[in-house]
Amino acid sequence: MRIARIGSAGQEKPAVVAGNEYILVDSLIDDWSRASLEAGAMATVASADLSALPRVAKGSTRIGSPINRPTKVICVGLNYLGHIKETNADTPAEPVIFMKAPDSVVGPNDDVVIPPNSLATDYEVELAIVIGKRALYLNSPADSKAHILGYTISQDVSERHWQIERSGQWVKGKSFPTFNPIGPEIVTGDEINPSNLRLWCSVNDVMKQDSNTDDLLFGIDHIVWYISQFMELFPGDVINTGTPFGVGLGFKPPVYLAAGDKIKTGIEGIGEISNNCVAYRA
């Protein structure tokens, strides 16, 4: 199954993706959110007859974040072997975990706002895991699949000055408003193999990142199991699994985003999202 949310900002409706159309399911569930997922929204929609429900053509309306107000956005750093090499970092013995403000999440094609005076805003294509069932102290990575709703595209925008040069937690460089476009839809695990997906990112139509999730240091199931050892995961929580080589920070000298740039971010089997970079205005 593929699920999405469509409509103007703040007015999105839950939908199921069917080819080149969205089937609106707001008559069946309130939304794609933590509360609705905990109440069995996926099972409700999967068992319903959708044939008579309203349909909207793709491309005719705005796409929102496929999850409404996720409780948490958890990130894994230094999780692609190629990215570790380009940053000259030591290979982590365990996953590097940090948080990102949930309010940074926006629709997949919404604008990315460059913070005031920023000269180091960077792009990062990432495969995002979306949790579907509460997970805490899982016994092994083999238990993880039962707790995953599906996968989507995350553009994990980062401000490197605040992340690196201003000492402290990485969260400071990750949590600016609009710094996490997600979408365009969530694809359930029965439709794709998350451990072998091409993922890419271009800026102004110049390819910057082009890799595969088979380069992950710590795999999908390991990540969910690992995080559950010290944090309870809830339906709708988003886990950004790391970015491959080719980020702006990795160039010599670094090449960062500026107002007017256009980012395209894609993952095989899920789709592509596009974001215009704009300057902050009070």
What domains appear along the chain, each with residue ranges and CATH number? 2-64 (no CATH), 73-279 (3.90.850.10)
What's the pLDDT at 169? 82
What's the pLDDT at 82? 85
Chain centroid to CA 266: 11
* Enclosing H/E stretch for 281: none
What's the pLDDT at 90? 87
Mean pLDDT over all residues of the chain?
A: 96
Q: Which of 203, 116, 191, 115 is nearest to 155 (CA)?
A: 203
Check: pTM over 0.85? Answer yes or no: yes
CA distance linking residue 53 with residue 51, whole number of Å: 6
User: What does each of the 282 residues of the chain score in pLDDT, given as a tens digit?
Assistant: 999 999 999 999 999 999 999 999 999 999 999 999 999 999 999 999 999 999 999 999 999 999 999 999 999 998 998 888 888 888 999 999 999 999 999 999 999 999 999 999 999 999 999 999 999 999 999 999 999 999 999 999 999 999 888 877 889 999 999 999 999 999 999 999 999 999 999 999 999 999 999 999 999 999 999 999 999 999 999 999 999 999 999 999 999 999 999 999 999 999 999 999 999 998
What's the pLDDT at 4? 98
Q: How many CB atoms lie within 10 A of CB 216?
A: 21
Q: Which DSSP string do the residues of 204-267 spell out, in sequence order?
A: TTEEEEEEEGGGBSS-HHHHHHHHHTTS-B-TT-EEE----S--GGGSSS---B-TT-EEEEEE
